[in-house]
Structure formats: C-alpha cells, structure tokens
A and B are shown apart, each in its own frame.
Chain A
C-alpha cells in the first residue's frame, strides 16, 4: 500500500476517533496537535488502526509512537 493511501485511511480513522473531520494529518503531527489525543483515545486509535489495516502492534510499539509519521512507518512495516 502506498504512503498516500495510508494517510487517506488514517485521516478517516482520526476523524472518527477524535470527532473532527477537519484534521489533515502530516508526518510530524503529534498528540499536541490533535485536540483530545490523550492516553485513552490513543488506545482507541490504535485498536481502530489495527482493525482497519488488519495488523497488530506490540505494547512497546504502541508506547513508543511519537508522531503520525512513525505510525505510518509502523503500518508500512507490517502490511
């Protein structure tokens, strides 16, 4: 899957999880840039991403993610 396609699907997932359709994700987008992205919604986000891309993240991978770019890289490494 192309990087652009991953971002496209992630935009939909983020919009659903954070109830904000105006989000335009970039590689450098972090939790500070998205209102409501805390440790709880992070888990919901991870579960939604795992379901959408049919992948599974480890505890360390979930804990270490620093920005959307790293999430995209992680998804790419697993599909």
Chain B
C-alpha cells in the first residue's frame, strides 16, 4: 500500500474512525496493532513472506533483552554484531550475492527503519535505567508503526511511549483541521510539485542516460544539470510531502511524530544541510555512530589541536555509512564516498578558513550575503550531483562521467551553483512577499475561507493528477 495513495488515505481514515470510536487506551492500542498488521499484510502475497521480518523482530527483541539484563560491553557488541549480520543477510546486498539465500521471496520493506529502532533500543538498553523488559506489545507497535515503518520519521522509543500514555485523549476540532490541511498540503507536494518535477526529470534524464554521442558537450551538460536538479526537486517534494502525510495522520492517532525536514535548501553548508534534511536519520547517525566514534578518537588523541582533523575522519566515516545504507549495490558505495567527501571537505574548509582569517574575521566573513548565497548554491549543487547515484546504475554512472569528463562535470557544478544561488535570492524575496500577503490574508481567515482554500488545493490535486495519469511512487521507499 503506497502511503501517498487514496487507498492509504481511506485505510488510515477508517482506522482513525475505529480508533476514536472508544476512548479506552487498551482498545486504541489494539486498533493500532491491527492497523499495523493490516498494513504489513497489504504487501504480502502469501503468509510465509512475512516470516523473516517476524524473525528479525523477535531476534532484535532478544538482543535488547540480553543487553538490558547484562549491561556489559560484550553483550552490547554481540547484540549489535548479530543484529547487523542478520539485517545484511536479509537485505541481500549485491556484494554478498554468493551467500545462500532463503528459497522464497520475502518482505523487506521497512527493514532498514526497523533496524534503526532496534539498534537504538539495544544501545540504550545498556545505559538507560530500564528495570523491566520492554513490553512486547509496545515493541511491536513501535517497530511496525504503519505510519513510520516504511521510511520514518525515526521516532525515539521514549517519545513513542509518551504518545502511548495519551492514547485515550479525545481529538479537538483544531487538531483535526490542522491534520487534514497538512495531509492535503502533503498531497500537493507529492501529486502536483513532485509529479511535475518527475515529469521533467523523466524527459531530461532519458537523453542523459542514453548518452547521445551526437549531442554537443555543452548541450549534454545542460541536460544533465537540468535532469539532476529536477530529480533533487522530485526527491525533496516527494519525501517531504510523504512526511507531511504521515506526521499529520499521526496527529489523528494521538501520536506526535518528529519533524524530518527544516528548509534544507536554506542550508549554508553540506553539514548544515544534513541537519535540515531527513533530520531523524541524521540525528540517529549522530547519536549512534558519529558521537561514539568521536569519543573514541578524542579519548585516544587528546590534543585539542587534533580535534578538527579527528572530526574530518569521523564525518567521513559517518557519511560514508549513511550513503552506503541507501542501497545494496556498488553505486551506493560511490554515493557514500561522495557524501563522506562532501562532509569532510566541508569541515576542513571551515577549519582552514577559521585558521586563516582568525575568529572575528571568520565570523564577519560568514555573515556576508554574497558568501552566504554562494554557499547555498554550492550546497545544492553538490547534493544534486551526489544524488545522481540514486537514479543511475553503476554502468550508467561510468558512462555519464566519461561523457561529461572533468570539464563537463565542473561546468555542471558551476552552472548548478550559480542557478541555485540566484534561485535562493529569488526564493527569499518571494518568501518575504508571501509572508506579507499572508499577514494581510489572515485578517480574512474564517471557517469558510480556510475550507475554500483547502477545497481549491484538492481541485488542483485532482486536475494535475488527471494530467499525469499516475502519481509518482514514493521514491524513498526504495532506500
């Protein structure tokens, strides 16, 4: 069941109605469990396809309990190594194609995000004062929450538990209105904006992937830059629209799910970008990989002067792993290397610039408008070039880079940087104008006008959807 589909909306609305029919928390928890199971069942052709996922959940629970009871380093290491090994086996990474596999196809959707939740619980089970085992029922609802199972946001267990304690609360009209309006905005992003960007991307990328030898390099570079930029737009609006839909539905089930995006293209650096894009994934990697790694390095190399260089290493490893996690083939290793290189070069630039300019001049330099917009443009350009790995395979990537060459690639980066920098200026001006218009429009806001606004958005979704015939798939489901 695709989350950005009418089927999902009807399913979630029906579940919300049944959920609110009775205020009893146990009843509501049962409804959530049944909704989670029904959601998983929608992906199954036969029952046995769910068995590996069920085993992974049970195994993860066992590892959490082992670490909670022992609270030792070896138990933690054992729990993490075995859980990751099972995940890698089930995920069928291409570089492990020689390993034996299960003799039937099975469900792996959501496996990555379930892994994040289980690892979080395994690590925290060692340090948190949990005197009782995690309740298996809550564990099932937490790991298999139908709203967040496929692609997040990655909610922390303690926040999920707080939500469970407010299951019995009644909804108020404001929450319902805000949820519905955000669902509609989510569909505008997915079905209108991302569908349009995808339409452009499909058209442009066909020329790029075909690698037409007769096309002049300049034209080919422009096509590549435009295709890559369209894909970034498609990726952002598709994913953030999806997040709007699930977070808004969370409100209808008394769940306060964490935000996953915060204006990523306002970022002035690659590192800041990842504090704004897929934030719950970035936080997860920060807590469970970057911080322990930095602690290890900083404990072994205690000179303060070395700290920035240790940071460069830690950033490289963290972003490499984060990139590789996105897929199971070689092209995702390239993506991981590009992510790692972006993060470490970014950190090195910050360190060197600070050393050359000194503290006060560095601060003043960072506030210059031209520098800010160039950095925003460069951040967009680098991310856009790096995510090329998400829409080509390894052979296509090699052909693309061979066709572009160093000059074509540099020209594409430069062109994307300039266009994105001017785009950021235009965006900021537009946003300031919109804020003023909104300030005036809010005076006329009432039940009629705000519902008319939502109705007009629904008409827009219907009109554009009929134009494209089919809404684009949820792109992040593949990762």
Interface residues of A (CB under 8 A from B): 35-36, 39-41, 43-44, 46-47, 58-64
**Contact: B124 with A60, CB < 8 Å?**
yes
CB distance from A43 to the nearest CB of B (A): 4
**Contact: B286 with A60, CB < 8 Å?**
no
18 contacts between A and B (CB under 8 A): A35-B359, A39-B290, A40-B347, A41-B307, A43-B298, A43-B307, A44-B307, A46-B295, A47-B295, A59-B123, A59-B287, A59-B288, A60-B120, A60-B124, A62-B287, A62-B291, A63-B283, A63-B287
Contact of A47 among B120, B288, B298, B359 (CB under 8 A): B298
B363 contacts A by Cβ under 8 Å: yes
- Interface pairs A-B: 4 shortest CB-CB: A58-B127, A63-B287, A40-B311, A43-B294
What DSSP secondary structure best describes chain A's contact surface?
A: helix
Bound CA–CA A61/B124 (angstroms) = 10
Once A35-B363, A39-B286, A39-B290 are accepted as A-B contacts, the answer to whether A60 and B128 lie under 8 Å apart by CB is yes
**Contact: A60 with B298, CB < 8 Å?**
no
CB distance from B4 to the nearest CB of A (A): 31
Contact of A40 among B283, B287, B294 (CB under 8 A): B294
Bound CA–CA A58/B127 (angstroms) = 6
**Contact: A43 with B363, CB < 8 Å?**
no
Number of A-B contacts (CB under 8 A): 53
Give per-residue flags for B284-305: 1 if the beta carbon is below 8 A from chain A beta carbons, else 0: 0011101110110011000010
| Residues of A with C-beta under 8 A to B286 | 39, 63
CB distance from A5 to the nearest CB of B (A): 25
Contact of B292 among A41, A47, A59 (CB under 8 A): A59
- Closest chain A residue to B360 by CB distance? A35
**Contact: A61 with B127, CB < 8 Å?**
yes
**Contact: B363 with A44, CB < 8 Å?**
no
Once A39-B286, A58-B124, A60-B127 are accepted as A-B contacts, the answer to whether A44 and B298 lie under 8 Å apart by CB is yes
B62 contacts A by Cβ under 8 Å: no
| Residues of B with C-beta under 8 A to A43 | 291, 294-295, 298, 307
**Contact: A47 with B299, CB < 8 Å?**
yes
**Known A59-B124, A60-B156, A61-B127; further 8 A-B contacts with Cβ < 8 A:** A40-B308, A43-B298, A58-B126, A60-B120, A60-B123, A60-B124, A63-B283, A63-B287
Bound CA–CA A72/B25 (angstroms) = 36
| Residues of B with C-beta under 8 A to A62 | 287, 291
| Residues of A with C-beta under 8 A to B128 | 58, 60
Give per-residue flags for B219-245: 1 if the beta carbon is below 8 A from chain A beta carbons, else 0: 000000000000000000000000000
| Residues of B with C-beta under 8 A to A60 | 120, 123-124, 127-128, 156, 287
Give per-residue flags for B306-345: 1 if the beta carbon is below 8 A from chain A beta carbons, else 0: 0110110000000000000000000000000000000000
| Residues of A with C-beta under 8 A to B295 | 43, 46-47
| Residues of A with C-beta under 8 A to B124 | 58-60
| Residues of B with C-beta under 8 A to A61 | 127
- Closest chain A residue to B295 by CB distance? A43
Bound CA–CA A59/B128 (angstroms) = 10
Which residues 137-196 in B have Cβ within 8 Å of A in the complex? 156
Give per-residue flags for B118-130: 1 if the beta carbon is below 8 A from chain A beta carbons, else 0: 0010011011100
Which residues 271-290 in B have Cβ within 8 Å of A in the complex? 283, 286-288, 290
Most A CB within 10 A of own CB, among B127, B283, B291, B310: B291
**Contact: A40 with B307, CB < 8 Å?**
yes
Bound CA–CA A40/B351 (angstroms) = 11
| Residues of A with C-beta under 8 A to B123 | 58-60
Bound CA–CA A25/B229 (angstroms) = 44
- Closest chain A residue to B302 by CB distance? A47
